[in-house]
A and B are shown apart, each in its own frame.
Chain A
Amino acid sequence: MRNRNLWYWLFLAPALLALALVVILPLAFGVYYSFTDWNGIRTPSFVGLEHYKALFAEKEFRDALWFTTKFTVVSVFLINFFGLSLALLVTQKFKTNNILRTIFFMPNLIGGLILGFIWQFIFTKVFASVGELIGVEALEGWLSTETTGFWAMAILMSWQMAGYIMVIYISFLEGVPQELLEAAEIDGANSFQRFYHVTFPLVMPAFTVSLFLTLSNSFKLYDQNLSLTGGGPYNSTQMVAMEIFKTAFVENAMAFAQAKAVIFFLIVAAISLTQVYINKKREVEM
């Protein structure tokens, strides 16, 4: 720590400069604009806290926030559940392990926008045809109600992200010392007990990372939302990021949207930091 001489700062400078230019400065500008009546064209004048007062009174924003929260809870659970299950599956001694890993990871390589359009086709066309064929009416008219739209998004998101989260779990699962598992086995622990009492605590750090990634990604979701449902029907599947975009560019209220974005940033930061803090405390050192 005491080695922070000139060289230290000199080598750090480019990174710090880049960070300041592309993250800190825009953020500061954004906060500044949220206190003005900027519309993207004219020079702004100061309006104080006006936008922040109007913000929570707006039904659309509250609806979007509530929808996003529900979506995040469901998808964080689903993604981690499937991610861990897949990881457990491919760390068993199967011959097809490597191929399976690749297959499970692949959805993550496709861009969110394209994925949205592909799944839109699956939900509206394939589901409808299958539903007609086997006579299940629930499969028809997907994406045209709030409930089906919600689950469509959750399915898409877990399908895409589970493979990525799987990789994280794999790396920790493979780090679990075999001696410990063997010792437990000799002591008479069955496979569930071995997982719950030995493996689970040791992969706790993986939960910290995975939960953080899934939580913040689900909260900030935009492209999948845009291409799959477009917020429809009647804006009932509109998530916060999309609501902010629409406020800015469709309703042309740039500064108001900026205020929403600042609040959104604070919410996501607060939740993620709390989660990391709680998880960190539960991690065990070997």
Chain B
Amino acid sequence: MKAKKLFPAVLSLGLLIGGGLAGCSSGDDKTSGEGGKDGDKVTVDIFQFKVEFKDQFEDIAKAYEEANKDVDINITTVGGGEDYGAALKSKFASGNEPTIYNVGGPQDVADWEDKLADLSDTAAAKAALSGTLEGVTKDDKVLGLPYNQEGYGFIYNKDIFEKAGIDPKSITSYSALEEAVKTLDSKKKDLGLTSVFALPAKETWVTGLHLSNVFLAPEFDQNVINAFESKEVTFEHGDAFKKILDLQNKYSDQPTVSLDYAKQVEELFSTGKAAIIQQGNWVSGSIAGIDEELANNGVGILPIPVEGYKEDSIPVGVPMYWAVNSNKDEKEVAAAKEFLDWLYTSEEGKTAVIEDFKFIPAYEGYDAGKISDPLAKEIYEYSSAGKTLAWTFMGYPTGWGQEKLGINIQKYVSGEMTWDELVEESSKAWAEARK
């Protein structure tokens, strides 16, 4: 009885396994056959984070493929800072490693070091503007190529300033800014404003990373590597920091602690209910979505003044870098480098970078007159005039800017913490992270 029952079971199991194996092997044959046929073709897998220019980037990659028949480019886009890091890790963990991916700064470079190819010999690396490669250079090796430049500051509504009789050109110091804010506040009703500022304390990247950077950068001599290597942070310009934060908080729509990016940019600024917001050139798209005219002609950017240091500058930096995976074979690495070189140094690539991607170029040899976005143009002008502060927040200990300082700023603006406590606790958290 038992043997009789056992037999069909074993038989069916055997068939199952055999069938499965047969299926697999025939599949293998097929793929290897295909591989042999066009073995000259190189596939470059790109895993990148910038959602805003996804379509334009895919178009340009297609154009490159047409011109170079032996290269196959696959682009995967996963947006948003945090999500990208997690997605990239799972991509590597799955064994399906991309050829080109993105790294953010010194911390990323340290984490990914074993998987970064040396890019010093690329034309793009040679054309990169001075200072843009600081965060990704290690032992004279260039491990990443900048995407573009971005800048932030106080974005203001030109129309409202004009109606209030304020000349934005005159605002190059803290006192002038305070004066202007008070004037705007006194004329709030006539100008149709709910508040002068819109401080999004809910977005810890706006306060904990961007705002803090302006006042911490001097401490690190405007160098991201110094920030990355520093064992401590002293809040040397803490008073100036407090003044700007207080000013924004006092004249902002309340409660700031639950005010987010959408409310700040779309609901308040784009509709003319707030006159000034602290943001960067990336908001152009959001503003255009509400009021195209305002985005194209009605916005300008003011410096964030650091009293007693630089009062007329705006922070300009590189948001993300292209990295090439050194684990891939030579041919693939070479093809990846060629593509990046073409993108940033060929005439066709350059046109796309400025006109289609609407980037502020981080490389030499671009015609700045072609930049169409007004915020981008102004930032480029600040940059050429040398009126810039560096982006050093990429060198903060991982998570410190948002999870420690940003959270403490939320506590400070809702009265749960004094400024002295904020300075003390945040410095302590920094020292602990760098122990």
Q: Which residues of A are in contact with B by a Cβ distance under 8 Å? A: 5-7, 10, 39-42, 124, 141, 143-145, 230, 232-235, 246, 248-253
Contact = CB atoms under 8 A, between A and B. Distances in A.
Contacts of A235: 403, 407, 410
A39 B111 contact: yes
A249 B13 CA distance: 43
A222 to B, nearest CB: 15
B30 interface: no
A6 to B, nearest CB: 6
B258 A143 contact: yes
Given A251-B403, A252-B398, A252-B399, A232 B410 contact: yes
Interface centre among B9, B93, B258, B414 (most CB of A within 10 A): B258
A250 B5 contact: no
B114 A42 contact: yes
A119 B342 CA distance: 49
Interface in B306-329: none
Across chains A and B, which 5 residue pairs bring their CB atoms closest together, nearest first? A251-B399, A144-B255, A234-B410, A233-B257, A144-B258
B254 interface: yes
Given A141-B254, A234-B407, A250 B399 contact: yes
B6 A233 contact: no
B5 A249 contact: no
Given A6-B6, A7-B5, A10-B9, A230 B254 contact: no
Contacts of A40: 89, 93
A230 B82 CA distance: 14
A135 B115 CA distance: 61
B24 interface: no
Q: Which size class do B's interface residues fall under?
A: 20 to 34
B202 A232 contact: yes
Nearest to A247: B399
Contacts of A230: 202
B330 interface: no
Contacts of A7: 5, 9
Nearest to A140: B255
Contacts of A253: 398
A57 B9 CA distance: 56
Contacts of A144: 255, 257-258, 414
B416 A41 contact: no
Given A7-B5, A41-B111, A250-B82, A233 B398 contact: no
B358 interface: no
Given A141-B255, A234-B414, A41 B89 contact: yes
B85 A249 contact: yes
A233 B406 CA distance: 11
Contacts of A250: 82, 398-399, 402-403
A124 B254 CA distance: 12
Interface in B11-34: 13
Given A7-B5, A40-B89, A252-B398, A233 B258 contact: yes
B188 interface: no
